[in-house]
Amino acid sequence: ERIAAPVEKVWKALNDPDILKEAIPGCKSLEKKSDTEMSATVVLKIGPIKATFNGEVTLKNLKPPHSYT
């Protein structure tokens, strides 16, 4: 995906829990635990079923400011 913004600004946004939270549908919380770890709570509704999921995110293969997985 191409984003019309400076690479450094995009990298900073991709590592900001508040910005990421707004970009993830149903995300109720996203907490940065370290530079490579976050915990998240996401609420999803599919038809009449609504579920809350808690998970951990680990950033790997960091190549600042260009990529991570």
Per cent of the chain over pLDDT 70 is 100
Instruction: Based on DSSP, count helices (H) and strands (E) in the chain, helices before strands.
Output: 2, 3
For residue range 9-37, what is the model confidence (pLDDT) as tens digits? Answer: 999 999 999 999 999 999 999 999 999 99
Read off the amino acid at residue 48. Answer: P
- The rounded distance, in Å, linking the Cα atoms of 25 and 21 is 8
- Phi-psi region for residue 9, left (φ > 0), alpha (ψ -120 to 50) or beta? alpha
- Domain parsing of the chain, residue ranges: 7-58
Give the pLDDT score at 1. 77
Give the pLDDT score at 16. 94
